Structure 1
Amino acid sequence: MVPAGGTRIGWQDLPAPVRARVERIIGGRVVEAVSQTGGFSPGTADRVVTGDGRRAFVKAVTPVLNERSAELARQESRITAALPGHVPAPRVLGSFDTGDWVVLVLEDVEGAHPRTPWVETEIDAAVTALAQLADALTPPPLDVPAVSDHLAEGFAGWRRLAADPPADLDPWAAGHLPELIAAAERGVAAISTGDTLAHCDIRADNMLMRPDGRLVIVDWPWGATAPRWFDRVLLAMNVVVHGGNPERVIDGLDRWTVADVLAGWAGFLRDASRLPPPPSLPSVRAFQRWQADALLHWLRRELRTSGPGPIG
């Protein structure tokens, strides 16, 4: 496994006026800050505690570190603030954007990421949470782009790889490029309609298991309209990549559609892995390559044997 992660700054790296404004939101002076690993932002991701025991989760980034990360932080602030209070997501305590710093202050959710390889009880908890999300977020509570707008270019990755194949392209993929291109195009068509606000970045490190067994979905910068089953397919992808039983996720979905969408993701990730790493995110390309290779192993079987079934 290639670990996901950027080169993060921490609470003490924030300018004093930014820290003071966060403390006013929380309601006390921060006396402890623990940086969280994982994710692909170079900004802060700190669990903080005030002198009187109040807790919060602070995310802050500056465009100086990575312009795209600052844009995503702005999107996350807008989307998270619009989520209804009953969805399995953190509550927003406050946010602000100075131009130089984008800051989001969230409820500190007690819990840990699901284990990988995935275990069945946590897969089931994730499936339950995603069903709750889909019910609560149909129709979407705010205007966001369609997920196909985000992914149409990325899902053309196999076509770009066919035009300029790398020397180390997986031999099976190299021999099945027409099938992979066609599957990815069907995948784009499948996700082009939908009236649900989907998270669109479902991974183990974007989830927290509470002590009571309930699961919370965190990190919302990529929210977009999609079919209600889209996040479930992303969960299946994460289980495939990290290990576990994806059948617990796929059951009830159209396996052809699942295979087509994951073929699109595999091409997206393999093509993107050829690019130079963005600023402050040195491991992202290796992480993308690792995911693409794991998906190809699964697709070798599914593109040959998957058959139609009911959409969940």
Structure 2
Amino acid sequence: MITASGVRIGWAGLPRDVQYAVESILGGTVVEAVSQAGGFSPGTADRVRIADGRRAFVKAVSTAQNAHSPNMHRREARITAAMPSWAPVPELLGCHDDGTWVALVLQDIDGRQPSTPWLADELRLVLDVLDEFATRATPSPLPGLATAADTLAEEFGGWRRIANDPPDNLRPWAARHLDELCALADRGLAALAGDTLVHADLRADNLLLSADGAVTVVDWPAACRGPRWLDSLLLLLNVRLHGGHDTHQLLTEQAAAHDAPLDDLLAVLVALAGFFTDSARRPPPPGLPTLRAFQRAHADAILSWLREEDSL
């Protein structure tokens, strides 16, 4: 299984002035830093401990690692700082931004990522938390966010780009159904209407489970306003990717739970398959060598799912 991973630097690889800035936010000297796996940022992702025993999570990146990553950190800092107190989100303790390096200092959550393949009890726990969050986050407590339709409009045009320039390795099933896939992707974009605050990048490595049963959702730069079922649907894609569950039953349950047309959820999956198929044929961006293989795995997972659903 291809996992989400960038080429990490660690705490020791940060410029000393960035380290000083983080320590100023923390109010103490960092004496231990443990790099964390998962995620696609090519910067740091360290659980740190300062001399008096207090802990934090630090993520930092510069344009030298990836040209787009600093802006994503800036956006994540703004969104996290604006979150309501009831949201299952780490507290932003501070942010350093010198124009080149951006460092976020966040509450360190005592938890672990869900097991993959997903365990049934952990999946149910997370789906329940997402449902509760969607209820409280409608209307969005961050009303200035872009809509999911505006945010994902380009990505959801993947099948049309493929139709205009088909790759040699396009899956035969997709090649036979290109016209229908393009039409369904358009429906998927229209289905993104809604005013729920959504994470829009939900997968196992963006979740932490604590021993007391608490669920924390991390990494919010993609947050936007969309349908209340979007994060649950993205989670089911992660479940499908790792295998071991009846995703048809789960999808049907989520459509019914959110009183949403099943065909709308399937249309969004079609559009996502187009995005992943189109993106996977591009060269990998700097610092993210596994991204394209990760996207190809997602495309294959969705296409096999759609064939089973007989949605075309």
Taking structure 1 as the reference length, the TM-score comes to 0.94
Partner deviation per Cα, 1:199-243 (whole Å, 9 max, x = no partner): 000010000111122211000000001011111111111111111
Task: Output the CA distance in 2 between the equivalents of 1:155 and 1:48.
Answer: 38
User: 2:258: which partner in 1?
Assistant: none
1:62 to partner: Cα distance: 0.7
User: 1:310: which partner in 2?
Assistant: none
- Assess if the C-alpha contact under 8 Å between 1:187 and 1:261 holds in 2: yes
User: 1:183: which partner in 2?
Assistant: 184
User: 2:27: which partner in 1?
Assistant: 27
SS at match of 2:133: helix
Task: Name segments (4+ residues, structure 1) moved above 2 Å.
Answer: 135-142, 244-250
1:137 to partner: Cα distance: 2.2
Task: Output the CA distance in 1 between the equivalents of 2:54 and 2:131.
Answer: 31
Task: Output the CA distance in 1 between the equivalents of 2:154 and 2:121.
Answer: 36
Task: Output the CA distance in 1 between the equivalents of 2:137 and 2:79.
Answer: 11
**C-alpha distance 244-26 of structure 1, shift in aligned 2 (>3 A):** farther
Task: Output the CA distance in 2 between the equivalents of 1:131 and 1:241.
Answer: 21
- Assess if the C-alpha contact under 8 Å between 1:23 and 1:30 holds in 2: yes
What amino acid does structure 2 have at the position aligned with 1:165?
A: P
- Assess if the C-alpha contact under 8 Å between 1:129 and 1:216 holds in 2: no
User: 2:70: which partner in 1?
Assistant: 70
User: 1:174: which partner in 2?
Assistant: 175
User: 1:251: which partner in 2?
Assistant: 253
SS at match of 1:57: strand
What amino acid does structure 1 have at the position aligned with 2:273?
A: A
User: 1:309: which partner in 2?
Assistant: none
Task: Output the CA distance in 2 between the equivalents of 1:138 and 1:169.
Answer: 39
The aligned length equals 304
SS at match of 2:311: helix
Partner deviation per Cα, 1:14-45 (whole Å, 9 max, x = no partner): 11121112112222211110011121111110
1:285 to 289, 292, 296: 292
User: 2:131: which partner in 1?
Assistant: 131
What amino acid does structure 2 have at the position aligned with 1:57?
A: F
User: 2:217: which partner in 1?
Assistant: 217
Task: Output the CA distance in 1 between the equivalents of 2:252 and 2:226.
Answer: 17
**1:16-165 equivalence runs, <5 A:** 16-142=16-142, 143-165=144-166
Task: Output the CA distance in 2 between the equivalents of 1:37 and 1:12.
Answer: 16
Taking structure 2 as the reference length, the TM-score comes to 0.94
Partner deviation per Cα, 1:69-90 (whole Å, 9 max, x = no partner): 1111111000011111111111
Task: Output the CA distance in 2 between the equivalents of 1:36 and 1:158.
Answer: 35
Partner deviation per Cα, 1:163-211 (whole Å, 9 max, x = no partner): 22111111111111122111111100100x2111110000100001111
**C-alpha distance 250-18 of structure 1, shift in aligned 2 (>3 A):** farther
Task: Output the CA distance in 2 between the equivalents of 1:27 and 1:244.
Answer: 46
Task: Output the CA distance in 1 between the equivalents of 2:88 and 2:29.
Answer: 28
248-257 vs 220-229, greater mean Cα deviation: 248-257
- Assess if the C-alpha contact under 8 Å between 2:4 and 2:39 holds in 1: yes
Note the aligned Cα RMSD (angstroms): 1.4
Task: Output the CA distance in 1 between the equivalents of 2:156 and 2:103.
Answer: 32
Task: Output the CA distance in 2 between the equivalents of 1:202 and 1:227.
Answer: 14
SS at match of 1:61: strand
What amino acid does structure 2 have at the position aligned with 1:204?
A: A
SS at match of 1:85: coil
- Assess if the C-alpha contact under 8 Å between 1:196 and 1:225 holds in 2: yes
SS at match of 1:118: coil
- Unaligned stretches of 5+ residues in structure 1: 306-312
- Assess if the C-alpha contact under 8 Å between 2:139 and 2:195 holds in 1: yes
- Unaligned stretches of 5+ residues in structure 2: 256-260
What amino acid does structure 2 have at the position aligned with 1:273?
A: A
1:252 to partner: Cα distance: 4.0
